[in-house]
Structure 1
Amino acid sequence: MKISFVGKGGSGKTTLAALFARHLAATAPPGSDGSVPLLALDADINQHLATALGASEDHAARLPALGDHLGEIKDYLRGDNPRISSSAAMIKTSPPGRGSRLLSVTGANPIYDALVREVGGVRLAVTGPFAAEDLGVACYHSKVGAVELILNHLVDGPGEYVVVDMTAGADSFASGLFTRFDATFLVCEPTLRSVGVYRQYVGYARDFGVRVYVVGNKVDDDSDVEFLRGHVGADLLTWIGRSGYVKAAERGAPQPVTALEPANRNALELMRATVDAVDKDWATYTRQAVEFHLRNSTAWANDRVGENLADQVDPDFVLGPEPLVR
């Protein structure tokens, strides 16, 4: 299952993404190799998921960045797909087709070998920061394009998890990235500004059938829960209370995830159960990838690349386990 964490900046979405990933690593059933099939991706403009998982600032700064290897990622994923004239003609929304190389959550491939590292017991790849040299000449969405390409080519099955820490607010609506998930956890503080981001997000997402579950954060008491319930209604799935465990981790003293407060562990387990209960719809997933590719092609990419990128769409291809086997 592909899972995203979104929310207002400062709401704690990165903290919850890390907690959830660590909870999965510690409690989800292992795969055939004895480890949980789990991959985390940091797609936030503020790259803090590695440190939230327990890496030092120095270690986090030395992680290889997906955004620095976009050409190699395109080269690999393109494979021998005859509809894509070159890797340079691939854009962030280019959908897979026959001949494309597909990814699994845990299988070996050059992308994972070069760019995925274990941090805090979780396999992690990072987009990379928006650097000073990018100012005025680059858009962060071009870096996040590496994540979108990976998700468009990734086949995941039951009991397999891809956890993505998204950029804050509604920035992910700049492409089709917000549709690439089986479940979206919107982290919401009990404040008017935070529920305002919720309203903005669901206003876009619901038009595309995106499943949004609100997870309250920094909840002190019943009045906070009632505030959230009054503003988000049945979308409130669960909540995380103020946590000494989280405070210690943020002060550089991380503990095993089993030391998390029982009520907060129960909230994480409910989140996992919710994800596990979702039915995957590969046909819709593929259709939405094509839809946003055609939108991007018409809006800017055809002119930039000098081709009609609608020709990249393989009309008979549906992403899913069957093409992965072939």
Structure 2
Amino acid sequence: MLKIEHVHRRSKRRLAALTACSLAFLRQRIVLMRIAFVGKGGNGKSTIAGTSARLLAREGQPVLALDVDTLPGLAFSVGLGGIPDAGLPEELAERQEGKGWVMRDEVSAETLVERYALAAPDGVRFLQLGKLPGQVRPGSTTAFRHVIESFRAPGWSVVGDLAAGTRQGFFGWAGFASMLAIVVEPTQAALLSARRLRRLAETMPGTRVGLVINKVRNDTRTRDIQAALQLPVWAEVPYDEEVADAERAGLAPIDAAPGSRSVAAIARLVLDLRNSDAEEPTA
């Protein structure tokens, strides 16, 4: 038993060292990221998005985390925990005859982020669309959409967690992203959902699209998913009980399980995407 525990501790130290090495390399090669994560509900996309934002912020650069999902998730995975509301004020927008909901005054997306985004660990700034039930308001939604469409602050990376399903992608909620990661579990049900999400690649010209296969227990289904979707696999994130425990407790995995295999895999994902020279969409 002592030997097994010793091996386990040594493995965790190696994983933590790998994550640290990835971050050290990234600091030497600064490339901004604008990435959106989308997928079926419950597949862990919020965990991957939040962990990615934290890792990027640890480089010392500003990172904006956009929670476009109307269900809770990203606030926990970036380390804010349960928050009542971090949406934008309703009075920022108004309904005008013949125009619908528009911004009340001329205010830049950068100013909105400076005024209203919450400060999360590692310097991440966090902004969310209202949550269901009751907090998705038209004025707040209009202002949030303004941020998504026009936030272009120099030197900032942007990480977005889209709502489960395809609707938001098709209606422009991922317009800030130059990369779109479809998060999929290695199951038949998840594959059916991912096939529908695959169409996002055709509606977002100029955007790189790839797969992040989460909660992997063996690589058999991984090969099937890649063959079925004909998209590059950017990362395979293993199922990790430590991360599952953190999620159940409402804790950020990067804080509760920093040496876990999942966090190490997400660190490699961030490193690979930042180190990639490919700029054209792959689908």
TM-score (norm 1): 0.63
Q: Is the 8 A contact 2:254 2:263 kept in 1?
A: no
Structure 1 partner of 2:56: 24
Structure 2 partner of 1:195: 191
Q: Are the structure 2 counterparts of residues 131 and 230 from structure 1 closer, same or farther at C-alpha, using a change threshold of 3 Å?
A: same
Q: Deviations over 1:283-306 (max 9, x none)?
A: xxxxxxxxxxxxxxxxxxxxxxxx
SS at match of 1:179: coil
Q: Are the structure 2 counterparts of residues 267 and 255 from structure 1 closer, same or farther at C-alpha, using a change threshold of 3 Å?
A: closer
Q: Are the structure 2 counterparts of residues 255 and 202 from structure 1 closer, same or farther at C-alpha, using a change threshold of 3 Å?
A: closer
- CA–CA distance in 2 between the matches of 1:255 and 1:180? 26
Structure 2 partner of 1:112: 113
- Give, in angstroms, the shift of residue 112 of structure 1: 2.9
- CA–CA distance in 2 between the matches of 1:156 and 1:213? 25
Amino acid at match of 2:152: V
- CA–CA distance in 1 between the matches of 2:97 and 2:107? 13
- CA–CA distance in 2 between the matches of 1:88 and 1:64? 30
Q: Are the structure 2 counterparts of residues 176 and 46 from structure 1 closer, same or farther at C-alpha, using a change threshold of 3 Å?
A: same
Residue 63 of structure 2 corresponds to residue 38 of structure 1: yes
Structure 2 partner of 1:240: 237
Structure 1 partner of 2:259: 260
Q: Is the 8 A contact 1:185 1:213 kept in 2?
A: yes
Structure 2 partner of 1:223: 220
Amino acid at match of 1:115: Y
Amino acid at match of 1:152: E
Aligned partner of 2:125 among 105, 118, 123: 123
TM-score (norm 2): 0.71
Amino acid at match of 1:233: Q
Residue 152 of structure 2 corresponds to residue 149 of structure 1: no
- Give, in angstroms, the shift of residue 155 of structure 1: 1.1
Amino acid at match of 2:230: G
- Give, in angstroms, the shift of residue 142 of structure 1: 7.2
- Give, in angstroms, the shift of residue 143 of structure 1: 5.4
Q: Deviations over 1:121-164 (max 9, x none)?
A: 321111121234x7xxxx77875443321122211446x31111
- CA–CA distance in 2 between the matches of 1:273 and 1:141? 38
Unaligned 5+ runs, structure 1: 31-35, 76-85, 282-326
Give the aligned length: 243
- Give, in angstroms, the shift of residue 13 of structure 1: 0.8
Structure 2 partner of 1:12: 44
Q: Are the structure 2 counterparts of residues 229 and 46 from structure 1 closer, same or farther at C-alpha, using a change threshold of 3 Å?
A: same
SS at match of 1:39: strand
- CA–CA distance in 2 between the matches of 1:163 and 1:70? 24
Residue 168 of structure 2 corresponds to residue 172 of structure 1: yes
Structure 1 partner of 2:158: 162
Structure 2 partner of 1:303: none
The 10-residue stretch of structure 1 (122-131 or 144-153) with the greater mean CA deviation from structure 2: 144-153
Q: Are the structure 2 counterparts of residues 4 and 224 from structure 1 closer, same or farther at C-alpha, using a change threshold of 3 Å?
A: same
- Give, in angstroms, the shift of residue 70 of structure 1: 4.3
- CA–CA distance in 1 between the matches of 2:202 and 2:252? 37
Q: Deviations over 1:166-224 (max 9, x none)?
A: 11110214522233311111101011222222221222432431321110000011223
Structure 2 partner of 1:316: none
Structure 2 partner of 1:323: none
Structure 2 partner of 1:79: none
Q: Is the 8 A contact 1:182 1:275 kept in 2?
A: no
The 10-residue stretch of structure 1 (201-210 or 139-148) with the greater mean CA deviation from structure 2: 139-148
- CA–CA distance in 1 between the matches of 2:227 and 2:215? 17
The 10-residue stretch of structure 1 (226-235 or 160-169) with the greater mean CA deviation from structure 2: 226-235
Percentage identity across paired residues of the two chains = 22
SS at match of 2:230: helix
Amino acid at match of 2:172: G
- CA–CA distance in 1 between the matches of 2:41 and 2:170? 17
Q: Is the 8 A contact 1:71 1:87 kept in 2?
A: no
